[in-house]
Amino acid sequence: MKSFMVVARIKDGVTPEEIKALIPAEVIQAKILEDKGLLGTIKVAMPKRTVFLEAFADSEAAAIDSIKSLPMSEIWDFELFETTPPAGAATNI
């Protein structure tokens, strides 16, 4: 399975109330993806209106599908980056 970093920026014009309304459904879907091994760490930089997510999938298309299943993806513009281990890190290749 490949590893991806997702950088999601909250779209202009989205209000804090709109974000808060999505949180309960987001938590549920994130837990489902996490339990399936498709979602790792999630970090939020609210002052920058940016969310960083670690995703796992066999392909970029599958990772995008997982991210799009999150309710908050409707209010994000996001980029997906396939990651590689740091130099010198042990790999399972």
- Adjacency order of strands within the sheet including 76-82: 39-45, 50-57, 2-10, 76-82
Give the CATH number, domain containing residue 37.
Answer: 3.30.70.1060
> What count of residues does the chain have?
93
* Per-residue pLDDT tens over the stretch 22-72: 999 999 999 999 999 999 999 999 999 999 999 999 999 999 999 999 999
Residue 15 inside a domain? The answer is yes
- Residue 4 DSSP SS3: strand
Residue 93 inside a domain? The answer is no
Residue 75 pLDDT? 97
Residue 86 pLDDT? 72
Residue 25 inside a domain? The answer is yes
Instruction: Note down the domain range covering 33.
Output: 2-82
In the chain, how many domains are there? 1
